[in-house]
Amino acid sequence: MSIRFRQPAILTMAFVSAMFLTACDRNAQQARTAGADAPPPMPVSVVSASFEPVPLVSELPGRTTPYMVAELRPQVTGIIQKRLFTEGSTVSAGQVLYQIDPSTYRAAFDSAAANKARADANLYNARLKADRYAELVGIEAVSKQANDDATAALKQAEADVAAARATLDKARIDLDFTRVKSPISGRIGRSSVTPGALVTANQAAALATVQQLNPIYVDLTQSSAELQRLRREAERGALSRDESNNIPVQLFLEDGSQYEINGKLAFSEVSVDPGTGSVTLRASFPNPDGALLPGMYVRARLEQGQTGQAILLPHAAVSHDPRGQSIVLVVDAEHKVATRPVQVRGVQGDKWIVIGGLAAGEQVIVEGLQKVREGQTVQAQPFNAPNGTAVPQAVAATAPATN
């Protein structure tokens, strides 16, 4: 009885053990199959972050302004007889541009000259009389009163000569003002009057405007906050700046072309515009061919310092999160993707200037950003620049082998 009872139990245990071993073999086979079908690590292109001296270049909007401007207005009243220039031409300082009818002013000058001659004659007579009376009063040939009268007459005659001389000088100046001259050399614009027009002394409307365009100024605007930040960094030694005013400036025209001659920074405004919160920077440019005209909209690039703690990254390497924070993706020591928030300071050519958030040697992903996520294992390879050559700073990383 006992033997017959234990035999079915042994058979049952053997069956359960066989089923368990079969299930283990199936799971092991599925695991091996899944491992064989797993995709390889995603390849990405990286550059190695390295600090280097980077010039801080500002690109500022501005407009061209004449170096000097002279608005021509008549100093005397009269009829314009001649216009002695071609509109839009170049004129020289002292060149006669308009001729006002001088007849009345010439007559006034001749009259003043005659009065001056009369005063000179009276002075000559008064001086002779005063000298004679001065001798006679010593021998009491004339009274002291007569001598005093002769001396007073001499001084009166001298005053009359001075007044006549002043009147003659004014008449000469008025006569000279009938010829309207250019006070500066430059290019003259259109004329607002024609021969036969009546003009008045010191009228509000200018006859024409002369502008000196070589050299020419470019007035640029920069925010006061940016200017103060640059000064603070220079004070703490994080930024080196040239203290001289001869800072080179590159100019770009409205069509995007670069002006062939570089200028220099002339000065910066000492006050802030309360309406815009900006400071005016003025640059001076040679303009020998007159290619730059007043009022043109331009953009200028000027180096305002240099920092040695910056990393240059291609534009494709930097993106932004929903809050607007600049971020990059890096490949860490375990060959996994990690996010790094960074501080960006402008651009240099086709690269971002990164001043914080990265350590030297970190591998920043440039290509393949859209195909990876944080924590994913990737295979890093050097980034190829647009010309097809590998960026030398990039260091290839090999993904760990899968078992």
Domain ranges (residues) in the chain: 42-54+309-382, 57-66+216-307, 74-101+178-205, 103-166
Closest residue by Cα to residue 394 from 384, 402, 382, 377 = 382
Q: Is cis: bond before 74, omega within 30 of 0?
A: no
Q: Residue 366: pLDDT above 50?
A: yes
The helix/strand/coil state of 267 is strand
The encoded tokens of residue 222 equal 């920069």
In this prediction, what percent of the chain has a pLDDT beyond 90?
45
- Residues 215/286, Cβ–Cβ less than 8 Å: yes
pLDDT of residue 392: 41
Considering the four listed CATH numbers 1.10.287.470, 3.40.50.720, 1.10.3720.10, 1.10.390.10, the one that applies to the domain covering 103-166 is 1.10.287.470
CA 196 to chain centre: 46
pLDDT tens sequence across 53-89: 887 777 889 999 999 999 999 999 999 999 999 999 9
**Cα–Cα distance measured from residue 186 to residue 396, given in angstroms and rounded to the nearest whole number:** 63
pLDDT at site 215: 92
95: left (phi over 0), alpha (psi -120 to 50) or beta: beta
Q: What is the CATH number of domain 57-66+216-307?
A: 2.40.30.170
pLDDT tier for residue 20 given thresholds of 50, 70 and 90: low
Q: Own/partner pairs for 190-193, CB < 8 Å, 24+ apart?
A: 190/87, 190/88, 191/83, 191/85, 191/87, 193/80, 193/83, 193/98
The 10s digit of each residue's pLDDT in 199-250 is: 999 899 999 999 999 999 999 888 888 777 766 765 665 545 555 546 788 9
Q: What pLDDT score was predicted for residue 394?
A: 37
**Nearest-CA neighbor of 380 among 346, 329, 342?**
329
Q: What is the DSSP letter of 198?
A: E
9 pLDDT higher than 60? no
Which class for 40: exposed (0-12), middle (13-18), buried (19 or more C-beta within 10 A)? exposed
- CATH 2.40.50.100 is right for the domain spanning 74-101+178-205: yes
pLDDT at position 180 over 50: yes
User: Which numeric CATH code is attached to 42-54+309-382?
Assistant: 2.40.420.20
CB 249 within 8 A of CB 266: no
Give me the mean pLDDT over the 362-373 stretch. Answer: 88
What pLDDT, in 10s, does the model give residues 263-303?
888 777 667 878 888 888 888 999 998 899 999 999 998 77
- Does the pLDDT of residue 52 top 90, yes or no? no
- What length is written for the chain? 403
pLDDT at residue 182 in the model: 96
Is the pTM above the cut of 0.75?
A: no
**Residue 241: what pLDDT?**
53
